[in-house]
Amino acid sequence: MDVPHGACLRRDAVRLIGEKRVRSAIADGTFATPWPGVVVDPARAAEPLTVVAAGLLAGGPEARASGPTAAFLHGLDAVDPTPVDLLVPYGSTRRTGRGLVVHNGRDLVDDTTEIHGLPALCLGRVLSDVLCSRRHQDALALVDQALARLPPEQREAFRATLHDRLRRRPDPRGTRVGARLLDLATGLAESPAESWMLWRIVDLGFPVPEVNHSMNDVQGRPRWRLDLSWPALRIAVEYDGRLAHLDRTELDGMRVQALRGLGWIVIVVDVDDLRSTLRVERELHEAFVARGLDPRGRTAGALRPRPHRERLVG
């Protein structure tokens, strides 16, 4: 049975091939049933687009893809699209269950678009929602990806439309932090991990660094781009993505040594530092103190590491 994205309602399968054949196909594994009333091609059951299509069918005709799931449909992959996020109108009886996260909302008709034949919230609605309700680092990574897809001259206009959506949200919860996260996004991060590290650093109370600062050679030609840096202080944070940088590990090491030879303080971070920022916080403290500054307004002798907080500092 050939159906879009490898998923369809059970009743539609019955209409196409009959009740007996559908029961037999489910029994022998020809069809998989991720949710009641939905059947999928088991060969495609792990494909994200198939999972999303099946989730929307399970959510009913009024359901719309939302959150990271809708972001995925829009081409933003910084956050896993599963479990499937759905938005349904207030009054709907649909509930969160295994593999489905169901939210209630309004303005579904005005904010609905169609992608790959599937109903989803428009990108502006998706991003304004995640800025207010999702993990800060994930929201920042998604907005960075969205900005990166735009020509530089269009980014500020797009940011302004998102700010306008935040101001007009019926539910004001999270809008202040969402606006600050939106202002942090640059569209210059080269990976979600760089966006996550930017959020971690700012959340720890350090000044906002410059993203992808370009360093030129003596002839004024671009030589290096620094992931995160404070150029006036010659402090840089470089993200080592391991797999992403596997073929240039030696080159990256030479660059770090060259920067240090020029008087820069370079802190190299990796995926483990996304889970625990204690080392990064300590070394950044030491770097700022070495430059005669304390970003938190205390004397250098009073500097102590703080426990990590999962919120943006006020």
Task: Output the pLDDT for position 241.
Answer: 65
pLDDT at 314: 35
- In this structure, the chain runs to a length of 314
* Span 102-121, pLDDT tens digits: 999 887 888 999 999 999 99
* Helix pair angle (192-203, 136-148), 10° resolution: 130
Q: What pLDDT does residue 224 have? A: 82
| pLDDT for the residue numbered 244 | 45
DSSP run (H or E) holding 167: helix 152-167
Q: What is the model's pLDDT at position 242? A: 52
Residue ranges, the chain, pLDDT below 70: 1-2, 217-222, 241-252, 296-314
